[in-house]
Structure 1
Amino acid sequence: MLTLLAAAAAIVPWGETFICTPTRVWDGDGPVWCAEGPHLRIAGIAAREMDGTCRSNQPCPAASATEARDALVKLLGGARGTLATGHVTVNGPRLTCRSEGSAGGTRTAAWCRFPSGADLSCAMIKTGTVLRWDRYWKGAACR
């Protein structure tokens, strides 16, 4: 298991398992800041950007960016506050994640599971606020 310092925001190498205790959320597919250091990009899904746009090379859900972000925040235990930067603070459950490597910048793309075993990407799809991104889905199955 990879251990990272909270301030590191290092990319977790592909295939590594790591723990993410969410502390703040930007939008519906991340980044999610983890208390352990990584900035998590939720694997296999696409949400609108916070300015309401979608990148030309990704699926574009009908739900607004705010709706997707708020759905993720709810899954992560609910909002604890909002920072001046626009990030919503959470005190989320400890997620067990498997890295898919870099998602650009300081973000680690990863598949994560709640303590119950439920998959975070699947849970977000079930909210109806994000879309499955087939290019990155890699055959995962939602229960």
Structure 2
Amino acid sequence: MAPKRGSEFIMLLILLAAQIIPAGEIFRCTPTRVWDGDGPVWCAEGPRLRIAGIAAREANGTCRSNQPCPSATAEQARDALVAVVGTRRGVAREGHILVNGPTMTCRSDGGARGSRTAAWCTSPRSGDVSCAMVQSRTVLVWQRYWRDHRC
């Protein structure tokens, strides 16, 4: 593999570090980047998270036909997730929102599309992340995945 430079190299390292945590496993995630209202959230420890049990608009503002479609904009949901997991510290060249946040404790719900781990996380900042996002009114419960989760 040819050496990469700058942001391409950083993204390659992030992708290589991404790992899917087996369902039921407890792990830690210190958030460093957020893409949209339900993830991915990049963890300093390696995994990329899809916040379990919720649906947000895609970053381009659309909704997938097989999921709930909230009325909030993609930017509103993304900014709510940033506030739930940490504080905004800038924007990466690729468009990710860079965040500083406390380490969360997460329980894997298994793999999600795109080398992500679906996870139920608790943040010292906001408590149950999925519940905090639903309370923000920028995402909807995705009953198929929410199942019997309680806030």
TM-score by length of 1: 0.92
2:32 to 3, 6, 23: 23
Counterpart for residue 122 of structure 1: 131
* Rg (Cα) greater in structure: 2
Shift of 1:77: 2.2
The equivalent residue for 1:111 is: 120
Q: Which runs of 4+ in 1 moved over 4 A?
A: none
The residue identity in structure 2 corresponding to 1:69 is R
User: CA 1:62–1:91 in structure 2 vs 1: closer, same or farther (change >3 Å)?
Assistant: same
Question: Alignment RMSD, CA only?
Answer: 1.5
Count of aligned residue pairs for this structure pair: 138
**1:49 corresponds to 2:61:** no
Identity rate of aligned residues, in percent? Answer: 66
Task: Please point out which of 66, 70, 86 is paired with 1:77.
Answer: 86
Which residues of structure 1 form unaligned runs of 5+? 1-5
**Could you tell me how far 1:8 is from its partner in structure 2?**
1.9
Q: Distance between the aligned counterparts of 2:72 and 2:150, measured in 1?
A: 23
Corresponding residue of 2:7 = none
Indicate the SS of the match to 2:75: helix
Matched, 1:33 2:42: yes
Cα distance in 2, alignment partners of residues 122 and 39 from structure 1? 19
Paired residue type of 1:80 = R
Q: TM-score of the superposition, structure 2-length normalised?
A: 0.87
**Residue equivalent to 2:23:** 14
Tell me what 1:133 maps to. Answer: 142
Higher helix share: 2
CA–CA distance in structure 1, aligned partners of residues 37 and 102 of structure 2: 17
Give CA deviations for 1:12-63 in whole Å, capped at 9, x if unaligned: 0111000000000000000000000000000000000011100000000000
1:96 aligns to 2:105 (yes or no): yes
